[in-house]
Amino acid sequence: MFIDASALVAIIAGESDGETLARQLDAAEERYTAPISMYETTLALLRVRRTNFVAVSGLLGGFVTRSHIQIVPITAEIGGLAIDAFERFGRGRHPAALNMGDCFAYACARSLGVPLLFKGEDFAKTDIRVV
């Protein structure tokens, strides 16, 4: 599965649905995320935790390592799929209203052929396979 930043934040920050998302993550045989998701997660955790970059970076890095999440590179193919995702499902174009990070999460999941783990309703309005 590809883990979107929204799911990472919910799990790490202990949000109300974090336990459910963590169980879904634990059940997955393969786990992926991308640098853009790591970036989004870092910024969100900085806001939520109200701490410094070093602490958040260590927290996120440790979680990714312990959870055996592979960080996939953003390739030209994924970039093209993200542009296509914006055209089809982007903010101002479709009810899913995907932002840039969402479009890249969609593209990574599509490229890898895996379902997407996320929090919220946005991806459910697309054609991506979800957890």
At 21-79, the pLDDT tens digits run: 999 999 999 999 999 999 999 999 999 988 899 999 999 999 999 999 999 999 999 99
pLDDT recorded at residue 72: 98
Note the CATH number of domain 2-119.
3.40.50.1010
pLDDT, average across residues 108-113: 98
Query: Average model confidence (pLDDT) for the chain?
Result: 96
- Domain residue extents for the chain: 2-119
Q: How far is CA 10 from CA 25, 31, 87, 88, in A?
A: 12, 16, 28, 27
In degrees and rounded to multiples of 5, residue 122 shows phi and psi of -60, -50
Q: Give this prediction's pTM.
A: 0.94
pLDDT recorded at residue 50: 84
